Structure 1
Amino acid sequence: MMNYKTINENKFLKSALTEENPFITTSKVMEWLKYRNEAINVEVTKIPFKKLNHWFLDKTNGMLKHSSGKFFTIEGINVKTNWGAVKEWEQPIINQPEIGYLGIITKEINGILYFLLQAKVEPGNVNNVQLSPTLQATKSNYTQVHQGNKPRYLEYFQNATRDEIILDQLQSEQGARFLKKRNRNIIIKIDGDIDVHEDFIWLTLGQIKKLIQKDNLVNMDTRTVISGISFEHSITVKEKLDNFELGMLLSANNKTNSKHTYDDVIKWITDLKCRYELTIESRSIFNIKKWEVTPFDIRHNEDKYFRVIAAQVEISNREVKTWSQPLIEPLQEGIIAFIVKKINGIYHFLVQAKLESGNFDIIEMAPTVQCITGSYDSDNSLPFLDDVLNAKEDQIRFNTLQSEEGGRFFREQNRSMIIEADDSFPTIIPENYIWLTLNQLNYFLKFNNYLNIQARSLISAIKFI
C-alpha cells in the first residue's frame, strides 16, 4: 500500500485502498464466479416475435409491448435538433418510465467497509454471470408483475432510514437507447447480521475496482452505483507525483488547482443546453424512416446501429425461471475513452458535452470519445478519436471490454479506455469540451442528469492501489 497519511478517516477511501479480504481473495473471486456459472443453467435463444409470451407487436399503438402494460415498450421516435451534423432522424427506443433500484448493501467489518455483490445472470450478458449490485430491479420486478418471487434483500432498501443511506442518486441510463430513463443508485450501510445467500459475496471497494480491470466481470449496474462514491478527503502525500493511481487520488481531492471553477462549469453546460434544442415526437415502429419490422427483428434498412430482437430465456436462479422478452442487439463493438492530462500539476479529464435522443435534459457530460453504435474505424470526423486509437502502450492506463446492461442489451460490449496524454496534447479544445478534475466530476455526480452512464462506467474503473 502507498505511503500516505489520512486525516478524518473516510470509510469509502479506506475500502478503496484495501484489497486484503479475509473472506475471499481477489483471485478466488474469479474462481467463485466460474463455479457460480457452472451451477446456474442458462439458455437464451433468439425467437420470432410471434413466439414471445405476453409480449406482442401492437399495430394500433405502433409499439412492441407487454400485455400487462408494465416493464417497457419499444417505440418509434422522430428526433429534431440543431446539434451536430445530422439535424433529424428516426429510430426505435426503449420507453421505460418507471424508476428502478440499483442498490448495494455495505457493512463495516473489522474497520473495513465491505460491499455485498451478487453473481447475477442477465439474458444479454456476454459471459452469463457478472458481479451485480445487491439489488437490481425495475419497479415491475419488485412489485411482482411477473408473478415471481420478490428480489432478495429488497426490504433492506425499502425500509432504509436516512442514517443508513450513505449514497442516494437518480442517474440516467443510455441516452441513445432509453427515452429519459433513470434509476435510483443507492448504497446503504447496515450494522446487524445478514444472511448471505450462496449467490452473494462480500468484497472491498479495492477488490471491486481491481476486478473492473478485467473484461466483463463487473456489470454496468455495479459500475454506475460505485461511480457515485466521492473520495474527497484530506490527505498528506509523501511520494512524488509520478504514480498514476496516486495522481488519480490527488485529482479526486484537489480543489485549488483546477483549470475551471465550479461556476465556470455550470455556465458552460447551461449555455450549451440553452443554445441547443432537442425535440422528440412519437412514431409508430411500423412507420419509422429507414427502419423495418420483420418477423424476427426491427432493423435499419442499411443494417446499421442495432436491431431489436426477441429471445426465449431460461435462468435457473432467477425470481422467474423462464420468460421471453425483447432485447437490443448491437451490430458493432463501440469504444468509450477518457483522455487525461496534467494541468497545474493535477490530472484533468477531457469531458465532452454530448446530446443524445433520450437524454432527460438535452445534454450530459460524456467521455472524450464515445461511439457506441457506429463503425468508429471509418469515422474520421470524431474529435480526439485518432488520439485514442493511436495511443502508445505507455499512455494506456485502462483498457478492457465492458458489457452494457444485460437485461436490455444482447451481448453488447464496448472497448473502455483511459489514455494519459503527454505535454504536447493541446489544452485548447472545441466549445463542447472542457477539462475537469476527478474532484469536479465527483461533485457533479451528486446531482441528477450531469454525467452520462458511459462516463460513470469509466470513472468506476479508477483505482488508487
Structure 2
Amino acid sequence: MKHANFVFLKSALSTLGSHLQTSQVVDWIKEQNEAVSLKIEKVDFTDLEQWNFDSLAGSLRHESGRFFSIDGIRTKTNWGGVPEWDQPIINQPEVGYLGFITKEIDGILHFLTQAKIEPGNVNYVQLSPTLQATRSNYSQVHKGKKPAYLEYFQLAESSQILLDQLQSEQGARFLKKRNRNIIILVDVDIPVYENFIWLTLGQLKSLMQYDNMVNMDTRTVISGISYGSLNAEIIDFFNFLEQKKSDTLNTLKKAFLKSVLIEDRAINSLEKIITFLTYLKSIYDLEVTKTPLSKLVDWEITESDIHHKDNKFFKIIAVNVEIGNREVVKWSQPMVEPSQEGLCAFVCKEINGLLHFAVQAKLECGNHDIIEFAPTVQCLTGNYRYTLEGSLPFLEFVLSAPSQSIYFDTLQSEEGGRFFREQNRNMIVIAGDEVTIDLPPNFIWMTLNQLNTFLMFNNYLNIQARSLIAAISFI
C-alpha cells in the first residue's frame, strides 16, 4: 500500500474532525445559509443579460462566446430501443477545476471544504470542494474576482498532487464535458476564509447521509480516491480487533472495506472487464450532429423555456441570480430544469466472500467515448415510478427492497450551477439469493477495488456511479 493510499484510508476511517464535530457541521451549514442573501428569479429569455439566441449557430449562447451554450443535437444509435432523437444539450468544452486542498492536522488528512451556494441548489448552501471553477470563471471572463485558493492549484508541484483525473459530467445533459478532478497536499499554514472548513474524509462521507448536504462536485472528486490493496487475512485480522474493541463498524461497512481493499477473489478479472467494455464499444455506434434549436423534432421554444412537446425529460429555463458571496454577485443564465426526480442505485451481492456491484454499461448521447459504466439502475430522463414493469432490470427489486437490505438511501443534488433544483434518489441495496450471479446483457459484476482501479483512468465511470461510490463509508 502506497503512503498516499494509507493517508486517505486513515482519513476515511476518522469521523472526528480537528475543528468541528460532524453534527456541528450541519449547524454550521445552516448558519451559512442564513448569512447569505439570495434571489433567484425565473425570467423570459429576452430578459437574460448578455445571452441571446444565435440564429446562425442555432444556439443560446453568451455574447462573449465563453462559459457554455445551449445547443441542439440529433442522436442516432443502434443501442437500445430508440434509434434516433433530438434534444437540447449543454455545450461547455472548457475543462474546469474541481479541487481539494488537503493538509495533515493532528496526524489525520483534512480536506478544505467550502460552504458554497449555487443558484440551482435545492437548499442553496452545500459542501463543495476548495476550488470549483470553469476556465471562464478563473480567467475572469465575468470581470469578477478570482476564485479563492486558485493559485495553490496552478502552482502545485507534482509531489503535492495526490489525485489528478479528467472525469465526465452528466452524459445525457452535457456534450462531452469533462473536469479536472484534483487533490493537492500542503504542509504550510494557509488562510481559512469565513465559509471554509477543514473536514476529514470520514466526516464528508458521514455528511452524505443527509439529503442534499454534499454537492455533486465534492462527490465526484472523492470518489476517485484509491485506498490501495491489502491481503484478505490482514483485513480480517483488523476487523476482528475492531470488533473486540467496539461495535463501531457494522457488518456491511466491514464488507465494503474488504471489497475496496482486496484485489483478488473477484469473479471477473480486470482483463475480462476491459474486454466486456471494448466489445460493446466496438458494436454500438453513437452519431451526434448539431441541429439548430428551432429545428429540434418534438421540442418547442416559448418566451420562457424550451420544452418537449409531451413535457417529458427536462426543459431549458432562464434565470436572474443575485448571491451575496460569489466572485460575481449578480448575473443571468440558462439552466436545465428536470421534469421529475430521478433514481440511481447500485445492487450489491456477496460473491466469493466479497461484495460485488452489478455494474451497467450505459450509452448516453454526451459521452466522450460512447459507453461508460453506470449504476445498476439509472432513471434520470423518465419517470421511474411509471416505468413498465419488467422493462428495466432491477428497478422493481430496488424499489421493493426491505429496509434491512438498504445500505444507503438519500436525495442528492445534481450540479447546482447548471441544473435548477434537481435532486435524485441515491440508493445502495444489498441482495441475497433472490439475485443470481447471472446478469442481464450489458451488466457485469465488479468489486469496489476494481471500480476504484477504473476510476484512476478517464471516462470509465459516469458521474452517477461516482456519486454513489463516494457515499460508501467504512466506519
Q: Secondary structure at the match of 1:463?
A: coil
How far apart in 2 are the matches of 1:390 and 1:341? 16
| Greater alpha carbon shift after TM alignment, 98-107 vs 380-389 | 380-389
Deviation at 1:237, TM superposition (A): 2.3
Question: What per-residue deviation string (whole Å, max 9, x for no partner) do you get for residues 32-54 of structure 1?
Answer: 00001000001110000000001
Question: What per-residue deviation string (whole Å, max 9, x for no partner) do you get for residues 397-432 of structure 1?
Answer: 000000000000000000000000012311101220
Question: What per-residue deviation string (whole Å, max 9, x for no partner) do you get for residues 174-199 of structure 1?
Answer: 00000000000000000011000001
Q: In the alignment, which residue of structure 1 is the partner of 2:316?
A: 308
How far apart in 1 are the matches of 2:376 and 2:313? 21
| CA RMSD, 1 decimal | 1.2
Deviation at 1:7, TM superposition (A): 10
Instruction: Determine which of 276, 295, 315 is the counterpart of 2:284.
Output: 276
Where do 1:207-222 residues align within 5 Å? Answer: 207-222=203-218
Contact 1:15 1:113 in 2 (8 A): yes
Amino acid at match of 2:76: K
How far apart in 2 are the matches of 1:51 and 1:372? 29
For structure 1, the 5+ residue unaligned runs are 1-5
Q: In the alignment, which residue of structure 2 is the partner of 1:405?
A: 415
How far apart in 2 are the matches of 1:350 and 1:343? 11
Q: In the alignment, which residue of structure 1 is the partner of 2:115?
A: 119
Amino acid at match of 1:237: D
Question: What per-residue deviation string (whole Å, max 9, x for no partner) do you get for residues 349-390 of structure 1?
Answer: 000000000000000000000001211112131111011111
Contact 2:18 2:106 in 1 (8 A): no
Instruction: Determine which of 343, 347, 353 is the counterpart of 2:355.
Output: 347
Deviation at 1:233, TM superposition (A): 3.6
Q: Secondary structure at the match of 1:454?
A: helix
Deviation at 1:236, TM superposition (A): 3.1
Q: In the alignment, which residue of structure 1 is the partner of 2:382?
A: 374
How far apart in 1 are the matches of 2:346 and 2:68? 32
How far apart in 2 are the matches of 1:261 and 1:332? 38
Amino acid at match of 1:394: Q
How far apart in 1 are the matches of 2:453 and 2:229? 13
Answering whether residue 222 of structure 2 is matched by residue 226 of structure 1, we say yes
Q: In the alignment, which residue of structure 2 is the partner of 1:464?
A: 474
Answering whether residue 95 of structure 2 is matched by residue 99 of structure 1, we say yes
Where do 1:8-407 residues align within 5 Å? Answer: 10-234=6-230, 235-238=234-237, 239=239, 243-379=251-387, 380=389, 381-407=391-417
Q: In the alignment, which residue of structure 2 is the partner of 1:437?
A: 447
Amino acid at match of 2:190: I
Amino acid at match of 1:198: E
How far apart in 2 are the matches of 1:322 and 1:176? 29
Question: What per-residue deviation string (whole Å, max 9, x for no partner) do you get for residues 280-308 of structure 1?
Answer: 01100011000011000000000000010
Q: Secondary structure at the match of 1:18?
A: coil
Amino acid at match of 1:253: L
More helix by share: 2
For structure 2, the 5+ residue unaligned runs are 244-249
Q: Secondary structure at the match of 2:101?
A: strand
How far apart in 2 are the matches of 1:270 and 1:279? 18
- The TM-score, its normalising length taken from structure 2, stands at 0.95
Amino acid at match of 2:325: N
How far apart in 1 are the matches of 2:331 and 2:16? 40
Q: Secondary structure at the match of 2:347?
A: strand
Identity value in percent: 59
Q: Secondary structure at the match of 2:254?
A: helix
Deviation at 1:336, TM superposition (A): 0.1
Question: What per-residue deviation string (whole Å, max 9, x for no partner) do you get for residues 117-149 of structure 1?
Answer: 000001000000000000000000000000000
How far apart in 2 are the matches of 1:17 and 1:428? 34
Contact 1:10 1:233 in 2 (8 A): no
| Greater alpha carbon shift after TM alignment, 237-246 vs 291-300 | 237-246
Amino acid at match of 1:61: A
Amino acid at match of 1:361: D
Amino acid at match of 1:303: N
Amino acid at match of 2:143: Q
Question: What per-residue deviation string (whole Å, max 9, x for no partner) do you get for residues 92-118 of structure 1?
Answer: 000000000000000011210000000
How far apart in 1 are the matches of 2:452 and 2:199? 22
Deviation at 1:253, TM superposition (A): 1.0
